[in-house]
Amino acid sequence: MVSGTKQDLKTAIAKVTELEAQKTQLEADKEELEAAKAELSKNVEAKVGELNEVKGTYYSFQEKMKQEIDRGEINLEQTGGKLRVGLVDKVLFDPGEAEISKRGEGVLARVAEALAGIPDKQIQVSGHTDKMPINSKLIATYPTNWELSTARATQVVRFLAEKANLPPQRLVASGYGEFHPIASNKTPAGRAKNRRIEILLTPMLAPKTMSRAKLKAAVENKTEMKPKADKHKKATSKSP
């Protein structure tokens, strides 16, 4: 009878211990869920704030560039957290030129005012051309549409950084030549639409850094692999 009571006591103690462990785990799970909920709520609030910023900039562009938008010289497109501004080339440049015109400087100054309203976005400026070859007068300076589109994007970026005082670390310039058309190149109207500058606002991506320990390990790993590669190369060269 005594042995049975002892066994029952051991069983009860084990059950209590098990229940306490389960309780501790449930409390830990609850804390984890509450933390995840708080983080999710924080992310949602940040996303809503980001979308409101983009909307504000969109409306700012509409107000500042109303005349050009009404004439079809500038178009705006907002998708999610991104804002795309398209400017036909004649707004910024004289035909076949990469230097920004006086009118273009005025337009870009107003564009910069709107861009300044979003301080945490990367500003990607891309140049695009139609499919027409470079004429003989300009071919020495711009051998292909690659050079012309890149030069135009670079000029816009320089203006935004040097004259409009936008942070240069937020600016990116790229040239797509004739290879990203938005209309047919078979008609004058289509070619006019394809000759454009696009400004795309996207989230800033912080540069990835590598700790000293990881950098040292990577260098050591590369050093170890080199003799093996050399040995394999020698063995391969000796084989018939």
Structural domain boundaries in the chain? 48-203
Checking if the pLDDT of 79 tops 90, the result is: no
pLDDT band at 240 (very low <50, low <70, confident <90, very high): very low
In DSSP notation, 62-128 reads: HHHTHHHHHTTSEEEEEETTEEEEEEEHHHHB-TT--SBPHHHHHHHHHHHHHHTT-TTEEEEEEEE
pLDDT band at 78 (very low <50, low <70, confident <90, very high): confident
| Digit-coded pLDDT (tens) for 116-173 | 878 788 999 999 999 999 988 889 999 999 999 999 999 999 999 999 999 999 999 9
DSSP state of 207: P
Fold observed for domain 48-203: 60s Ribosomal Protein L30; Chain: A; (3.30.1330)
Top-confidence residue, 200 or 205: 200
Positive or negative, the Cα torsion across 86, 92, 94, 96? negative
Q: What percent of the chain has pLDDT over 70?
A: 79
| Digit-coded pLDDT (tens) for 228-239 | 555 555 555 555
Using CA atoms, how far apart are residues 216 and 71, in angstroms rounded to an integer? 58
Using CA atoms, how far apart are residues 175 and 170, in angstroms rounded to an integer? 17
pTM score: 0.68
Using CA atoms, how far apart are residues 93 and 152, in angstroms rounded to an integer? 8
As a whole number of angstroms, the longest Cα–Cα distance in the chain is 112
Extract the tokens encoding 90: 């004649």
Top-confidence residue, 215 or 116: 116
